[in-house]
Amino acid sequence: SQTIHQWPATLVQPVGSPLSLECTVEGTSNPNLYWYRQAAGRGLQLLFYSVGIGQISSEVPQNLSASRPQDRQFILSSKKLLLSDSGFYLCAWSGGASYNEQFFGPGTRLTVL
Amino acid sequence: GENVEQHPSTLSVQEGDSAVIKCTYSDSASNYFPWYKQELGKGPQLIIDIRSNVGEKKDQRIAVTLNKTAKHFSLHITETQPEDSAVYFCAASPNNNDMRFGAGTRLTVKP
């Protein structure tokens, strides 16, 4: 069966510091991968998605970036965090027999102080 | 692009009663409509979905209905239990890389 991992689970960072969040998927190959952000009490905002290694599509202009160095690894980064980057970051995957269905990881709670 | 609206934003019911959450979408090309349940501090979990060639789908106490003409779909939970308390999200998708979510409904089931 497929599993999706995210780390760290929680993170507190000062404004202006760099960020690196990691997501990995097991049990599937060539998945589509997604990064979402969820502000407190709000819905999910798609940030990036990737259909393959090195292929990144950005949905919202911001100071975040994403990379996919391996088939089942998706990384969310920032060079300098802003207060507004605080939120709950969710990674998701889709593909294979479950074409449209997206499956979410446990999330990373980021607090920027 | 797709725009999904979800109502109500909060819903409180007594244990054993039914709960209904409604969503509307704007893009007639959307053909996949999932529902997610999110418990506090966790990622959303897919609980049921429906595709545009189906009008209704049931899974035990959960059912989803779809009206493509009116561009709306609903989640129905019968015989609610305290463990059904969570935030529920609807979504609509015209393709694999474009899924738009509603703002969520916080459901509270009172024992």
The answer to whether A58 faces chain B, any CB pair under 8 Å, is: no
Nearest Cβ partner of A32 from B45, B96, B102?
Answer: B96
Residue A103 binned pLDDT confidence (cut-offs 50, 70, 90): very high
State pLDDT tens for residues A7-59. 999 999 999 999 999 999 999 888 999 999 998 777 899 999 999 999 999 88
Tell me the average pLDDT across A64-87: 95
Residues from chain A that touch B105, judged by Cβ atoms under 8 A, are: none
Q: B41 — alpha (psi -120 to 50), left (phi > 0) or beta?
A: left
pLDDT at A75: 97
CA–CA distance, A91 with A108 (Å, rounded to integer): 9
The answer to whether A2 faces chain B, any CB pair under 8 Å, is: no
| DSSP per residue, B25-79 | E--TT--EEEEEEE-TTS--EEEEEEETT-SEEEETTEEEEEETTTTEEEEEE-S
Residues from chain A that touch B99, judged by Cβ atoms under 8 A, are: 46, 100, 102
Task: Determine, for residues A102 and B34 on separate chains, whether the beta-carbon distance falls below 8 Å.
Answer: yes
Low-confidence ranges of chain B (pLDDT < 70): none
CA–CA distance, B98 with B92 (Å, rounded to integer): 8
Number of Cβ within 10 Å of residue A84's Cβ equals 11
pLDDT at A99: 65
Residues from chain B that touch A41, judged by Cβ atoms under 8 A, are: 104
Q: How far is CA A10 from CA A46, A90, A110, B45, B93, in A?
A: 20, 12, 6, 19, 30
How far is Cα of residue A100 from the mean position of the Cα atoms in its chain? Answer: 18
The answer to whether A96 faces chain B, any CB pair under 8 Å, is: no
Nearest Cβ partner of B97 from A32, A41, A104?
Answer: A32
Picking from B41, B39, B46, the residue whose alpha carbon sits closest to that of residue B109 is B39
Burial class (CB in 10 A: 0-12, 13-18, 19+), B77: buried
pLDDT at B94: 85
One-letter amino acid for residue B91 of the chain: A
pLDDT at A2: 85
| Chain A interface, best mutation among B57, B87, B97, B100, by max A CB count within 10 A | B97
Q: A68 — alpha (psi -120 to 50), left (phi > 0) or beta?
A: beta
Helix (H, G, I), strand (E, B) or coil at A83: helix
Q: What is the mean pLDDT of chain A?
A: 91
Q: B88 near B37, Cβ under 8 Å?
A: yes
